[in-house]
Amino acid sequence: MQTAVYAGSFDPPTNGHLWMISQGLALFDRLVVAIGQNPSKDYVFATEERIDLLRTSIPSCERLTITHFDNRYLVDYAKEVGAEFILRGIRSPGDYEYERVMRHINSDMAPDINTVFLMPP
């Protein structure tokens, strides 16, 4: 079974986030949507509110888990939940450059976890 983690702040969830989740469910057997917690960032919605917003925006699916993780490396969280893939959305050349660097760092930390880039419409 192939598992992917799709992480973000989801503050609030957007149509792009929902598209990424639908594509993640089409590509992987299990998708963990993880709301990140960055202590240096101010959020409009509390974590539980963002979880509720996602749950009300997405049809229920047994292959989908919506949760959160504290301030740590995403690759470490992916290992913890048994994910083989990290799913990332690319909106711009700047996103690509940042995510490309992160992919290399993640690969050094966990060579068994691959990053998949998707470009939402």
Cα dihedral: 2, 86, 93, 120 (round 10): 50
Q: Token pair for residue 103?
A: 């992919």
| Residue keyed to tokens 């959020």 | 43
Map out the domains of the chain as residue ranges.
3-118
The Cα–Cα gap between 47 and 45 comes to: 6
Asked, as a colleague might, if the bond just before 12 is cis with ω within 30 of 0, I would say: yes
pTM above 0.85, yes or no: yes
Which tokens sit at 78?
């992916």
User: Each residue's pLDDT tens digit in the chain (121 positions)?
Assistant: 999 999 999 999 999 999 999 999 999 999 999 999 888 889 999 999 999 999 999 988 999 999 999 888 999 999 999 999 999 999 999 999 999 999 999 999 999 999 999 999 8
Is the Cβ–Cβ distance between 86 and 57 less than 8 Å? no
Q: Indicate the fold that domain 3-118 takes in CATH.
A: Rossmann fold (3.40.50)
